[in-house]
Structure 1
Amino acid sequence: MVDLLSIAIAQCMVTFCLVYLRMQSVNRSLMKPPRHFRDKLLKVIEKGGSLGDMFHSWKVGSVRRELLLRAKDVRNFTNEKDAGLLDIMMKDTKEKENIIQSLKHDEKSGRILFGFFHPYCNAGGGGEKVLWKAVETTLRFDPNIVVVIYTGDCDATGEQILGSVRNRFDYELDASRISFIFLKYRKLVDSKTWPHFTLLGQAFGSIVLSIEAILKCPPDIWCDSMGYPFGYPWVWHLLRIPIITYTHFPVISSDMLNKLAHQQRTFRVILKGFYWRLFMKYYKHVGSFITIACTNSSWTNDHISRIWTQCRTHVIFPPCSTEKLVHYEKEGDLPAKRKNQAVVLAQFRPEKRHRLIIEEYAKYLKTAQYDDVPKLIFIGSTRSDEDRQYIKDLKVLALDKLKIPQERFEIMPDLPYEDIKKMLWSSTYGINAMWNEHFGIAVVEYIAGGLIPIVHGSAGPLFDIVIDNVGFFFLDPSDPDYKETSSILGFGTLCDAFKEVSYLKDKDKKKLSDIAIRIALTKFSDSRFDEKWIDHVLSKVNNKNTH
């Protein structure tokens, strides 16, 4: 159990250190390599050794930065698996000579280090798809940009991570301009580390992780593409660089506070409300350090624009590779040729509500004619043994407890991207059950692939994606806001939606599919993301002194 007093003391100590460091102009020291660093580096390169033996630990980051600015292949200077920085470079004779000449003549390449802070970059979800498309666009925009990925995926190598990106998202990246900086303290942002006062604990953890990142390699531009805003003041005070944020959902929102206000005013509720309001005040404060704020949907943008009033926010819909998904439709794959199956494309996590889908599907089976019942197929990525156990539990629920026939239910985890596309092209329906899915990349992939979406009537799917009557919505009594929304929206349950789509004729399916594809190409293509990312981000921060 986390001791709240210990956390408070730690926060005070960290704040004191920040004030002291700021007074000492540390922001200049962290970026500036130590005196005579070139002579020391040449000695390390020519005679062997490691940077840790030659420089103080808090200066190693500035030296690594110099190497990244000079190297032709920045993969040589990762801190992968705690290897010495020069171990790989010593094997590359050509790169070694390049670095030696650059140091002797003090030649700099004019490069910019664009840092992406994404501690779970290898998770394989929608947020990671945004990250890697942003990386691809950024590298293509300016050949002088070097991308630094700050990640806590210490169980994988940089090469393995990029291979996973290629398999899952079909993105080919210039690996010679991508350097991975591995962070040791990712567990501090894991909610499991903080069973009590989770928001406060994760905020503290994100501060520690941000400081660890900039000490290991200070960038010229900081981009948080995952949503850890409490490190922004530290990045700004220590480095004075532009800060970009791509927010998938607010850490705390007015909705949370409003719901708390309607609960019975017990001492616990009053204390929680005070805690949340204080947290919201600090959340608003960190917005003052942001240079450019981007959000993934109208729902998220509405909340963030009310919180971070100091900066203008931009909606940049996630890249959904709709061009690649629609291409097969043009080759003649018509809905009439599709199999009668419903796909659920989502990471195997409880918040995706796979259990709800299974339970509602089982209810539907009790009243449906089996010839008309679509087969239910779950596909998605796993991140850990816990996710794989989650899959086993879903199978027990579906096959053993609810007695769904085995030929009507299948789980296919960790499929390559090409196989996912084929599954979408051969199916008829796509299901998304997450409550308040802030955007919903999977839903876009459904409509781009010509599927008929059956989705929860909230947030991104409701406001941004399933428009012009191209799909079907549902609600569920287990939704936190069911009492307020059910009377207003009038949607039925998922079981009701299953019954409704069973009456669709082939011509109706074809009409819905055509409209959906047009929406997908217009709003959610990779090329559209490119345009928005360049317009709102890259064109404004190409000069690293933007802030």
Structure 2
Amino acid sequence: MSKIRPILYGFFHPYCNAGGGGERVLWQAVEDTLKFDEECKVIIYSGDTDSSVSKILANVVKRFNIKLDEKRLIFNFLKKRHLVDPRTWPSLTLLGQAFGSMILSYEAIKSFEFKPDVWIDTMGYPFSYPIVYLFLQIPIIAYVHFPVISKDMLNKLNFSLSIYGVKQLLKYIYWYSFLIAYKLVGRLVDITLTNSSWTNNHIKSIWTLNRDITILYPPCSTENFVNPEEFNNKEKWTRDNSIVVLAQFRPEKRHLLIIEQYSIFLSQLAEISVAPKLILIGSIRNDNDKDYVNELKEKSRKLKIPSSHIEFQLDLPFNEVLKFLRTSSYGLNAMWNEHFGIAVVEYVANGLIPIVHASAGPYLDIVVPWDSKLQKQVESTEASRTGFFFKDKSDPDYKLGFDELNEVFKKIINLSDEEKMEMSKRGQNCVLEKFSNKKFDNEWNRSLSKIPELYYYNKTTLFIWIIVAIISFTFTQIL
């Protein structure tokens, strides 16, 4: 790779000003990249045209405590971000977003005077890869938070001799065709990093021709949160009797389920004073999020949850969120198939006892049975427990064997102080070992160090190249 000018790393993340876990990965990766090569510059491909560079970077500090050198950052604001918004494509959403991401990536590379030397997709738009490959022929790094489509989706379809069955068959053909296309574009990726065991297993089963697929857990700053001295020489649990829910206010985070289950729990108590207070903390992105919060507040009133037992905290700065994490007792995540769950790691690192849905990242990677002496994951026993799991009857994969959330609430109020302290310490040892920023930094740098060895040309078969060329030619004619 020529160094006549500084190397330009292009990060494709159209929603870079959002405050979620994906953005945490983006900005940590940007920081690491700038440190990895002190002469390089970073291009951020963003669709946040309603904001400014200074405001975006101020939010990065506020939300993630990451300070970046603005002089080494170049922002390319994209005008066609609406084309990757699912609301733009009420029908054939997968296909629409795929086409939209191709247009958006073409806008990114066409409208900008500097050609990036490396394309890094940290948000998950795989159909940008054919455009980048054809027009730039540079290394592509993909950080995958979840597969765009998976074989599990196909397996859930049911066929029958009915109108419904015919629709299911047509959907199967549509999804299967899309899965084939997803396999092809995956072949164009040089380095694939996945955020969890769940995602890694799915991507390996789809991108079978891609050899470099590894797990890179998101950076969770666990070394900055863990306080190993907190429970030393203590006999009592001194934290507030409260449950923190740290999640963006979006329906898929299932705040409504939490409120409903909490209401059931309260109704079954003889004395409500023993119930932990429910504190919902999250960021607001737009009017839809505001409406959602108002809906949640109205629901809590209808269920007659006392105002003394529920609290909403919106758009808090990082230091105020930290206060809640360091003083509360429990951390709750209700999302089904949360592919990783940075908030859960933050719960555990700060000493909270996690209550999580028994699926994906929280179940497979984070709230795992742990032996603090051996510093490794072990068989599940009461002596190795690091948290609590639940399932709900509304889950697509619901099955018996796990408590419902209201039943878990009943269990935690009966924990002894000693049980809480031991569980908290085990969890902290686990996340400190697995999810520190240092570990992310080292693995990210290792990936960047592979770039000079990558082949820029002839990465795919001629057949795939022809498909890419046809698609790209058609696409440019439309524009």
TM-score (norm 2): 0.88
On the 8 A contact 1:474/1:497 being kept in 2, the answer is yes
Structure 1 counterpart SS, 2:237: helix
| Aligned equivalent of 2:354 | 453
Match 1:324 to one of 212, 221, 224? 224
Match 1:277 to one of 170, 176, 179? 176
Residue type matched to 1:249 in 2? F
Residue type matched to 1:280 in 2? L
Q: Matched residues in 2 for 1:524 and 1:411: separation?
A: 28
Matches within 5 A, 1:19-58: none
Residue type matched to 1:192 in 2? R
Q: RMSD in angstroms over aligned alpha carbons?
A: 1.8
Residue 406 in 1 paired to residue 301 in 2? no
Structure 1 counterpart SS, 2:449: helix
Q: Matched residues in 2 for 1:127 and 1:517: separation?
A: 23
By how many angstroms is 1:216 displaced? 2.2
Match 1:496 to one of 407, 413, 432? 407
Q: Matched residues in 2 for 1:327 and 1:545: separation?
A: 45
Structure 2 counterpart SS, 1:260: coil
What number of residue pairs does the alignment pair up?
Answer: 434
Residue type matched to 1:365 in 2? L
Matches within 5 A, 1:206-355: 206-217=101-112, 218-261=115-158, 266-311=165-210, 312-327=212-227, 330=230, 336-355=237-256
On the 8 A contact 2:242/2:278 being kept in 1, the answer is yes
Deviations along 1:118-144, whole A, 9 cap, x unmatched?
Answer: 000000100000000000000001112
Deviations along 1:196-239, whole A, 9 cap, x unmatched?
Answer: 11001000100000100111233110000000001101110111
Matches within 5 A, 1:59-458: 110-217=5-112, 218-261=115-158, 266-311=165-210, 312-327=212-227, 330=230, 336-368=237-269, 369-399=271-301, 401-458=302-359
Cα–Cα, structure 1 residues 263 and 479, in superposed 2: closer, same or farther, change >3 Å? farther
Q: Matched residues in 1 for 2:20 and 2:422: separation?
A: 30
Q: Matched residues in 2 for 1:497 and 1:347: separation?
A: 23
Cα–Cα, structure 1 residues 458 and 441, in superposed 2: closer, same or farther, change >3 Å? same
By how many angstroms is 1:331 displaced? 9.6
Residue type matched to 1:428 in 2? S
On the 8 A contact 1:116/1:223 being kept in 2, the answer is yes
Q: Which segments of 5 or more consecutive residues in structure 2 lack a partner in the other structure?
A: 370-384, 458-479
On the 8 A contact 2:231/2:421 being kept in 1, the answer is no
Residue type matched to 2:333 in 1? N
By how many angstroms is 1:330 displaced? 5.0
Cα–Cα, structure 1 residues 390 and 333, in superposed 2: closer, same or farther, change >3 Å? farther
Q: Which segments of 5 or more consecutive residues in structure 1 lack a partner in the other structure?
A: 1-68, 70-107
On the 8 A contact 1:540/1:546 being kept in 2, the answer is no
Q: Matched residues in 2 for 1:435 and 1:149: separation?
A: 31
Q: Percent identity?
A: 53
On the 8 A contact 1:241/1:544 being kept in 2, the answer is no
By how many angstroms is 1:310 displaced? 1.3
Structure 1 counterpart SS, 2:386: coil
Q: Matched residues in 2 for 1:374 and 1:310: separation?
A: 50
On the 8 A contact 1:220/1:544 being kept in 2, the answer is no
| Aligned equivalent of 1:541 | 451
By how many angstroms is 1:328 displaced? 8.4
| Aligned equivalent of 1:508 | 419
TM-score (norm 1): 0.77
| Aligned equivalent of 1:471 | 387
Q: Matched residues in 2 for 1:452 and 1:434: separation?
A: 17
Deviations along 1:18-67, whole A, 9 cap, x unmatched?
Answer: xxxxxxxxxxxxxxxxxxxxxxxxxxxxxxxxxxxxxxxxxxxxxxxxxx
On the 8 A contact 1:329/1:449 being kept in 2, the answer is no
Which of the two has higher C-alpha Rg? Answer: 1
On the 8 A contact 2:190/2:454 being kept in 1, the answer is no
Q: Matched residues in 2 for 1:249 and 1:261: separation?
A: 24
Cα–Cα, structure 1 residues 464 and 264, in superposed 2: closer, same or farther, change >3 Å? farther
Deviations along 1:248-281, whole A, 9 cap, x unmatched?
Answer: 0000001101101477761111110100000000
Match 1:481 to one of 391, 394, 397? 397
